[in-house]
Amino acid sequence: MSPRRNNIKNTLNKLLEVLKKAGFDGFLLMIATMILMAYFLPKPGMVKEPVSLEEIANAGVSLIFLFYGMKLSVEKLKAGLSNWKMHIIVQLTTFLFFPLLVLAFRPLFVNNGFELLWLGVFFLAALPSTVSSSVVMVSIAKGNIPAAIFNASISSLIGVVVTPLWVGLFIASATGDFDVTQIVIKLILQVLLPVIIGISLNSRFGAIAEKYKKQLKYFDQAIILTIIYTSFCKSFSEHLFEGFTALELVGLAAGMMALFFAVFFCVGLLSRLLGFSDEDRITVLFCGSKKSLVHGTVMSKVLFQHSTITGIVLLPLMLYHALQLIAASIIAQGMARRKGV
């Protein structure tokens, strides 16, 4: 085998290894499987008796946030506050620049019958950053790992409040129904209260949650797959996807890729202008441009009362999640190579 072919093979193997570390593994295949199952076997996802899958998913959402809070150490969060300028840039990018960028394109969607699709993109834009894959990418590119862990953790915490505030502004116009009182009650009971209880239990059970984080990850994934299956069952039963052509879905994927690179470029430029070190700039790039599939899926259960539309709303997020892993993995590898790692 020629040296060039060996280099290509080694590069591909490294890329696959990075993608696996970042979460691009059998889980994404399972997501695709759930969507196909929802299309061909929608009835199990809509059965109400004796216990519906939707009720199981609702309980699972609360447990996910309980375990998330349990893994959050208040002491570690306090210790991470020292690099405040970088943290502010990451959080402003995540919760202000991202949503405003998508908001600027709203007129192109609302007048063409694609308002639900735009709502899905806006929902994605208002979500917190990922935790695991952001830290993995920063680690590969040799960035500031403690700062990445802090930003990913604090982003998830902020998102519990900020994401519903952003999305609530547009749910009524897109779906025709938005009961503020009901949403707030669900948000408190299913999200805020479990997180607060989890944080209060950190000192006692935090080490146990950390020890079994792999098993908790599988639990998170099982709940996410259940939510995706039930959501798409209802969306397919209402024929909500029949209005979209294959070309339009390809266009949506291209749009998600363009969104990732637009944010990535702007954040990189800003971090250079502010004089960040290479390590901090890498952290800002990866933490500021990535979005959490976990939080998006579980938050959709709380925010969207008419679950028939949830499949469409989650579609941009699932595309973005897969594409961000591929793009960020390639970029992180390139950065590592330039550093001679």
* CATH class, range 33-336: mainly alpha
Q: In which band, very low, low, confident or very high, does the pLDDT at 268 lie, cut at 50, 70 and 90?
A: very high
Bigger pLDDT: 183 or 58? Answer: 58
**What tokens appear for 26 in the block?**
């059998």
Q: Which of 145, 141, 146, 139 is nearest to 339 (CA)?
A: 141
Query: What whole-number percentage of the chain has pLDDT above 90?
Result: 19
Helix (H) or strand (E) holding 45: none
Label residues 303-341 b or e (16+ Cβ within 10 Å = b): bbbebbbbbbbbbbbbbbbbbbbbbbbebbbebbeeeee
Bigger pLDDT: 21 or 27? Answer: 27
Residue 269 has a pLDDT of 94
Residue 285 has a pLDDT of 92
The answer to which of 130-144, 175-189, 199-213 has the lowest mean pLDDT is: 175-189
**Spatial separation of the C-alpha atoms in residues 117 and 245, rounded to whole Å:** 13
Residue 72 has a pLDDT of 75
Q: Which of 136, 10, 155, 12 is nearest to 77 (CA)?
A: 155
pLDDT tens figures, 326-340: 888 888 888 887 766
Q: In which band, very low, low, confident or very high, does the pLDDT at 12 lie, cut at 50, 70 and 90?
A: low
Question: How many CB atoms within 10 Å of residue 191?
Answer: 28
Domain-wise residue ranges, the chain: 33-336
Question: How many CB atoms within 10 Å of residue 298?
Answer: 25
Assess whether pLDDT exceeds 60 at residue 33.
yes
Assess whether pLDDT exceeds 80 at residue 164.
yes
Assess whether pLDDT exceeds 90 at residue 189.
no
Q: In which band, very low, low, confident or very high, does the pLDDT at 239 lie, cut at 50, 70 and 90?
A: confident
Residue 50 has a pLDDT of 74
Assess whether pLDDT exceeds 70 at residue 173.
no
**Spatial separation of the C-alpha atoms in residues 287 and 144, rounded to whole Å:** 11
Q: What is the mean pLDDT of the chain?
A: 82
Cα dihedral across residues 318, 322, 323, 325: positive or negative = positive
Q: In which band, very low, low, confident or very high, does the pLDDT at 98 lie, cut at 50, 70 and 90?
A: very high
Assess whether pLDDT exceeds 60 at residue 17.
yes
Residue 259 has a pLDDT of 95
Residue 223 has a pLDDT of 86
Residue 254 has a pLDDT of 94
**Spatial separation of the C-alpha atoms in residues 227 and 45, rounded to whole Å:** 9
The most confident of 63-77, 106-120, 187-201, 278-292, by mean pLDDT = 278-292
The most confident of 88-92, 237-241, 247-251, by mean pLDDT = 88-92
Tell me the residue ranges of DSSP E strands in the chain: none
Bigger pLDDT: 304 or 315? Answer: 315
* Look-up of token digits 């735009």: 118
Task: Give the DSSP letter string of 129-181.
Answer: PPSHHHHHHHHHTT--HHHHHHHHHHHHHHHHHHHHHHHHHHHHHHHS---HH
pLDDT tens figures, 54-77: 788 888 888 888 888 888 777 766
Residue 133 has a pLDDT of 76
Assess whether pLDDT exceeds 90 at residue 94.
yes
Tell me what the mean pLDDT of segment 266-291 comes to.
91
Q: In which band, very low, low, confident or very high, does the pLDDT at 99 lie, cut at 50, 70 and 90?
A: very high
**Spatial separation of the C-alpha atoms in residues 280 and 265, rounded to whole Å:** 15
- Residue 275 gets the label, from left (phi > 0), alpha (psi -120 to 50) or beta, of left
**Spatial separation of the C-alpha atoms in residues 160 and 187, rounded to whole Å:** 8
- Whole-model pTM: value is 0.79
